[in-house]
Amino acid sequence: MSSDQMSEETAEQRTRTDQTAEQPLVRVEGLRKYFYEKDSLLDRLLGNEPVAVRAVDGLRFDVHPGETLGLVGESGCGKSTTGETLLHLQEPTEGVVEFQGENVYELEGADKNAFRRNAQVVFQDPFSSLDPRMTIGKTIQQPLDVHDVGTAEERREKVQELLERVGLSADQIDRYPHEFSGGQRQRIGIARALALEPEFVVLDEPTSALDVSVQAQVLNLLEDLQDDFGLTYLLISHDLSVIRHICDRVAVMYLGEIVEIGLVEEIFQNPTHPYTEALLASVPRASTDERDRERQTLSGDVPSPRDPPSGCRFRTRCPQVIPPDELDLDQPVYRDIMNLRELVERENISLELVSSHAEATDEGPLVDEAHIDEFVEDIKAAVLETALPPREEAVIDEALAHLATEDWDGAAEILKDRYESLCERESPSLGEGPHPAACHLYNE
C-alpha cells in the first residue's frame, strides 16, 4: 500500500470516528424505570402510599455505530431492566431513548415497526427463551412472519442461511429446542435476533448459562457476526473477562446508576471509581505472581433500591468516604463511625441484647442513671471495631447516652452534626469527557 493510500485511509478512519462521536446510533438521557409496590386498588382504598423500587434511575449514555458497549455490575443493579426498557419492552417511568435521532417512546405505526426491525435482543437463558412447542425453523422465521418479509419459500431459505451462519446445519431446521445443547440453543437465539437484519442488538448475559468452552465459541461468533453484518451491540454482563474480550467501551452500573464509563483498557488499567476498583480487584487471577496480592473487598450488603442511600449510593460500602474538612480521621475509624450512624438512624441496635443495663418495660428500655456510662460502653463494644480518638469518643458517648431513653432522633442528630459527609449530602454527577466517573473524589 502506498503512502498516499495510507494517508487517505487514515483520513477516512478519522472522519468516520468524528462522525461516530457526533452521531450516536442510540442516545439514552435521564432513563428511569421504577416498579411500584403497594400500588393495587386495595392499597389505594386503604390509603397506602406506593413504594418505588428504583431499578433504573437516571441513566445517560450513548452507543455509537459499530461499537460494543458493555454494561457491567453486580446482580440486581438494573442491567437487564435497562436493556428491556431501552428497547421499549418495558414502559419507562421517565427519560428519552433516541434511535437514529428519533425518540423511541414516541414512535407509532410504521416508524415503530421499523424500530422493532432494527433493534433486537438475545436473551440470557437459552433454555427458557425458546418455545419448546415450535421447531427452531419456525422460531427463527417468526420475526419474518410478523413483519411480512418475503414469500414463504424465501423465509425458509433465509432461516437455513442463518442456521449455517451461526454454526448449525440447515438440515436441523425442523428439529425442536430440546434436541439441542445450551450453546446450540443460544446460537438459535442469535439467529432469531438476526432474522430481520437489525442494526442494534442488546445481548443480555448471552454466555452466563453456558460452559466456559462454549462461552468462547459464542463470543467469537458474536464478534464475527458484528463484522459481517455491521452490528452495534449493548452487551450486558457481570463477567468482566467477557466484557474485556469483546467490548470497546464499558459502563459500570451500581444500584440503578452508571458510576463510570470509558474505553475498556482505560477502565481495566486505570479505574477511577472505588466501586470499579473493587470489582476489578475481585476478579480471580491465573498468574502465580499475584497470588499474594491484596484484595480490596466491599463491606456490607448492597442497599435496597426501595430505599437507596442519599447522595452517593455507594457511600455505605465505599472504602474512601470523604470526612468533613474539620475532621482528621483515618478511613477505618470514619467508616466505623458511619456504620454506627446508619444503625442509629435505622434504630437497628437491640439495646436489651447489647447491654445488660437496658431493661425492657412497657415504655421501652429503661437505664438507671447511675449505669448510663456502662450502657454506652456496652453499645460501643458491640458495634464499633476501632479505637476512637478522645474528642470523637466524647461526641459518640454524648450521642449514645440518648439511647438510654430511646431518643434515637436525638442521638442521630448529634452524630449527623459532627460526621455528615459530602458523600451523603450531594449526589455526584457522572460528568462529561471520554472517561467520567460519578465520584466526589474524582470530581475534586
| CATH code for the domain of 27 | 3.40.50.300
29 and 160 together in one domain: yes
Q: What is the C-alpha to C-alpha distance for residues 64 and 230, in angstroms, rounded to an integer?
A: 12
Is residue 7 in a domain? no
> Is 254 in contact with 73 (CB distance < 8 Å)?
yes
Is residue 98 in a domain? yes
CB atoms within 10 A of CB 74: 14
269 and 349 together in one domain: no
Instruction: Write the pLDDT tens digit of every residue in 131-170.
Output: 999 999 999 999 999 999 999 999 999 999 999 999 999 9
Q: What total number of domains does the chain contain?
A: 2
Q: Is the per-residue pLDDT at 286 higher than 60?
A: no
Q: Is the per-residue pLDDT at 399 higher than 90?
A: yes
Q: Is the per-residue pLDDT at 40 higher than 80?
A: no
pLDDT for the residue 284: 65
126 and 188 together in one domain: yes
188 and 69 together in one domain: yes
**pTM of the predicted structure, to 2 decimals:** 0.86
264 and 354 together in one domain: no
What residues make up the domain containing 64? Answer: 21-278
167 and 262 together in one domain: yes
Confidence of residue 321 (pLDDT cuts 50, 70, 90): very high
Is residue 72 in a domain? yes
Among 306, 244, 324, which residue's Cα sits nearest to residue 235?
Answer: 244
Amino acid in position 440: H
Is residue 183 in a domain? yes
Question: Cell 435482543 identifies what position?
Answer: 121
The conformation of residue 366, written as its DSSP 8-state character, comes to: B
N residues, the chain: 444
Task: For residue 7, give the C-alpha cell.
Answer: 494517508
Confidence of residue 208 (pLDDT cuts 50, 70, 90): confident
Task: Specify the range with the lowest mean pLDDT, choosing from 226-235, 285-294, 306-315.
Answer: 285-294
91 and 195 together in one domain: yes
Confidence of residue 289 (pLDDT cuts 50, 70, 90): low
Instruction: Write the pLDDT tens digit of every residue in 346-392.
Output: 999 999 889 888 887 777 788 888 899 999 999 999 999 999 999 99
Residue that wins the pLDDT comparison between 276 and 442:
276
% of the chain exceeding 70 in pLDDT:
91
pLDDT for the residue 210: 84
239 and 356 together in one domain: no
266 and 354 together in one domain: no
pLDDT for the residue 295: 58
Q: How far apart are the first and last CA of the chain?
A: 48
337 and 272 together in one domain: no
Confidence of residue 73 (pLDDT cuts 50, 70, 90): very high
Average pLDDT over every residue of 396-420: 96
Is residue 298 in a domain? no
Which residues, 6 or more positions from 78, have their beta carbon under 8 angstroms from its beta carbon?
33, 55, 56, 57, 253, 255, 256, 305
Q: Is the per-residue pLDDT at 2 higher than 50?
A: no
269 and 128 together in one domain: yes
Amino acid in position 384: L
221 and 339 together in one domain: no
